[in-house]
Amino acid sequence: MGGRIHKTEFAGVNVEMGANWVEGVNGDQMNPIWNMANGTGGLNLRTFRSDFNHLSSNTYKQEMPGGPSTPVDMVVDYYRHDFQFAEPPRVTSLQNTRPLPTFKDFGDDVYFVADQRGYESVVYHVAGQYLETDPESGAIVDPRLKLNTVVREITYTHSGVAVRAEDDKFDMAVYTKIFLKFPERFWPEGLGTEFFLYASGRRGYYPVWQQLEKQYPGSNVLLVTVTDDESRRIEQQSDKQTMAEAVEVLRKIFPGKDVPEATEILVPRWWSNRFFKGTFSNWPIGVSRYEFDLIRAPVGRVYFTGEHTSEKYNGYVHGAYLAGINSADILINCAKKKMCTYNVKGKHD
């Protein structure tokens, strides 16, 4: 439960290792997650609108014999695709991303969640309406909920369902947010300086940076995002090596500054974690409604849900939420109305 929404303490504050933004806000339709986080839902999470409008003037080039145009083009392409979908455009289905339903339906704005209660507050808010919770702490104590368990086999009969746990694999995209703490600030501050890009000749090499002084004042923390192959490479090396690589990049970005050594680093390892094997789904070229219907189709009494079963909003928190509602409706129609037939049309029907 909760998927890749998880806070942890770093540099004296709680930061988000997984989902961090409410994406798709201020459009014609209300994003249900935004409604819970900062609307009538009552959570009133501390959020900040992310401003990407000044990236063109915050792009730092790696000097290369062939000229800087190729690295710059590459990092801009990375920002437009990999930073959003965690994989390069050559493997991402345009059918599901152009236009991207999240922004088309809910609006173009994105809000960074920087609340010490964590983005996971949304999960507990929803789960607390259906599961047993501790009256004092609010923790979910319902015995029906099994955490830290990998499902290996599911068997079912007319009288019940049995789940056997162990390991399995599912191909997931990998999106890694690396946090670095420094003894002092050396990066630009003020309007239009929140995000900056590093144009390397190597695609995805510490490309997208974010300074978090607005979200966590006085923390001296930078966030750099890597994805896909770079995520997997970094997960397999020591944090010390990652810290050294990141600081080297920062010294190239700010050659006129005295860039100190980082004092702390946080490297999430979603790909290496046997309970996750990645961060979120990114459906490849060739995927259509047929595949979505197949993956969420009930098998007897067993029902499936999750962001990966959302045809329009896979990869997003609101996709997971809306997919849960959709799967619940299918189950309810079967249990109460005896409408248990789930038809999957052919791929080319």
Q: Point out the residues that are catalytic.
A: 23
Which stretches does DSSP call E strand in 43-129?
47-49, 59-61, 109-113
Whole-number Å distance between alpha carbons of 277 and 26? 33
From residue 93, give the alpha-carbon distance in Å to each of 87, 90, 97, 98, 282: 11, 8, 7, 9, 8
What span, in angstroms and rounded, lies between the C-alpha atoms of 204 and 118?
A: 28
List Cα–Cα distances, 173 to 134, 138, 170, 317, in angstroms: 35, 32, 10, 15
Q: What distance in Å separates the CA atoms of residue 57 and residue 135, rounded to the nearest whole number?
A: 51
Closest CA to 321 of 46, 107, 68, 313: 313
238-244 long-range contacts, CB within 8 A, separation 24+: 239/265, 239/267, 242/178, 242/267, 243/180
